[in-house]
Amino acid sequence: MAIRVQAEDFDVGAEYAALTRGRSSIGGVTLFSGLVRDMAGGAAVSAMTLEHYPGMTEKQLEAIEAEARRRWPLDDVLIIHRYGRLEPGDQIVLVATASAHRDAAFDSCRFLIDWLKTKAPFWKLEATPDGERWVEAKDSDDSAAARWDP
Amino acid sequence: MKIFYFAWLRTKIGVPSETVDLPAEVKTVGALVDWLKTRSPKHAEALANSKVVKVAVNQEHVPYDHPIEPGDEVALFPPVTGG
């Protein structure tokens, strides 16, 4: 298992290789990566700065991972989330789940990113031609997370 | 008690954290938010809409009726937007 909250970029191929190396019980891996888009709400975005709450962020991500492992039979889970200043095309987040079978890998990966978006304490500040603006939480994110309510 | 502020709550209030001496009657998160509003016009404006002011106590999300103790770590922030 691994939770990493970092400013540095990550290499999806290297992470995938590390996750699966020598682990022949794994039958499938689902990877989700989130990227910075160059448009949001009709405005051009030239940069995005991610703020987080050190300590609570890791604690919440660990709790989300524990919940995923309670619900699905997972061989491994990896969550990497970046903070700091990012530009369009940059990677923000990676969620990877490994299991014997694809259903557990797909469903748990979707669950992790949906819960992460509503529970992990990160905030996005976008730079646009009209100045900086804090991204507002979306109702659609709440409903996506609510699908996984017990 | 130490209070942390994040994102636009931090920029509106103007500090990332502050240490406050709570009156004895402030025993819940909701009472704390109401009391913080009285500290300055900036606090009052930033905390005006409680729907967009979320609270964590000791790094766990909590509702406004959650109790608070003098040694707690409290953070106020807008709804999260990571991922």
A68-119 tens-digit pLDDT: 999 999 999 999 999 999 999 999 999 999 999 999 999 999 999 999 999 9
Tell me, yes or no, if B23 comes closer than 8 A to chain A by beta carbon: no
Domains of chain B: total: 1
**Which residues partner with A35 through β-bridges?**
A91
B46 found inside a domain: yes
Helix (H, G, I), strand (E, B) or coil at B5: strand
Whether the predicted pLDDT of B26 surpasses 60: yes
Chain B interface, best mutation among A56, A92, A93, A116, by max B CB count within 10 A: A56
Helix (H, G, I), strand (E, B) or coil at B76: strand
| All residues at 6 or more sequence positions from A130 whose CB lies less than 8 Å from its CB, including other chains | A43
Q: Which of A122, A125, A136 sits opposite B82 (nearest CB)?
A: A122
Tell me, yes or no, if A34 comes closer than 8 A to chain B by beta carbon: yes
Class of A2-146 in CATH: alpha beta
| Cβ-defined contact of B81 to A137 (cutoff 8 Å) | yes
Nearest CA in chain B to A125: B7
B63 found inside a domain: yes
Neighbours of A85 (CB within 10 A): 13
A19-44 pLDDT, tens per residue?
A: 999 999 999 999 999 999 999 888 89
CA distances from A125 to A32, A114, A128, A148, B80 (A): 22, 20, 10, 28, 12
| Cβ-defined contact of B80 to A92 (cutoff 8 Å) | no
The phi and psi torsions of B8 (rounded to 5 degrees) equal -70, -15
Residue with tokens 């019980």: A25
* E strands present in chain A: 2-6, 28-35, 39-40, 43-44, 47-52, 74-82, 84-86, 91-99, 122-128, 131-134
CATH classification of the domain holding B48: 3.10.20.30
| Cβ-defined contact of B59 to A120 (cutoff 8 Å) | no
B70 found inside a domain: yes
B82 found inside a domain: no
Tell me, yes or no, if A66 comes closer than 8 A to chain B by beta carbon: no
Dist CA B15 CA B30 (whole Å)? 21
Return the percentage of chain A with pLDDT > 70, whole number: 99
DSSP code, position A3: E
Range(s) of the domain holding residue B16 = 2-77
B67 found inside a domain: yes
Dist CA A110 CA A32 (whole Å)? 8
